[in-house]
Amino acid sequence: MWAIARIEIGSLLTKDVNGTPIMRLPARAPTSGNYCTRNLGAYGGIMACAREFGDPDFADAVQRGRDEYGGDSIGTRRYLKWSNGANVAVAVGMLPGQDDYLRAVTVGASKAAL
């Protein structure tokens, strides 16, 4: 499924003023919590999928778009104008590496972590 999604949303990649790939989502979607129309949650979901399926360059381009679109944060990537749910989606999108979710589900945490 990531291959299909990557092709479909890959057309949204452009370049910023420095020539670096960036993704700018064209439309706004409703967000939970403060019930406004923003895309922060979508950026987080796309980043999480890209990282899980081993596409870190794409995830970085999405993250650059999110940073440009997201506005001010307070240093911890907590976007003040956005809902808690959207902020959680971004946190989830920033954390995993390739196959991390797969390992968490199929292998689980080590005994030391428990």
Q: What is the pLDDT of residues 38-70, one digit of tens each?
A: 677 788 888 888 888 889 899 999 988 888 876
E-assigned strands of the chain?
A: 13-15, 21-23, 29-30, 37-38
Q: What is the pLDDT of residues 91-104, one digit of tens each?
A: 777 777 778 777 77
Cα–Cα distance, 33 to 35 (Å, whole number): 6
Tokens 């403060």 label which residue?
A: 34
**Which long-range contacts link 80-84 to residues 24+ away (Cβ below 8 Å)?**
81/38, 82/31, 82/34, 82/38, 82/40, 83/31, 83/32, 83/33, 83/34, 83/36, 83/40, 83/41, 84/33
pTM > 0.75: yes or no: no
Helix, strand, or coil (residue 57) = helix
Residue 3 has pLDDT above 70, yes or no: yes
Q: Where are the domains positioned within the chain?
A: 2-106
Average pLDDT, the chain: 79
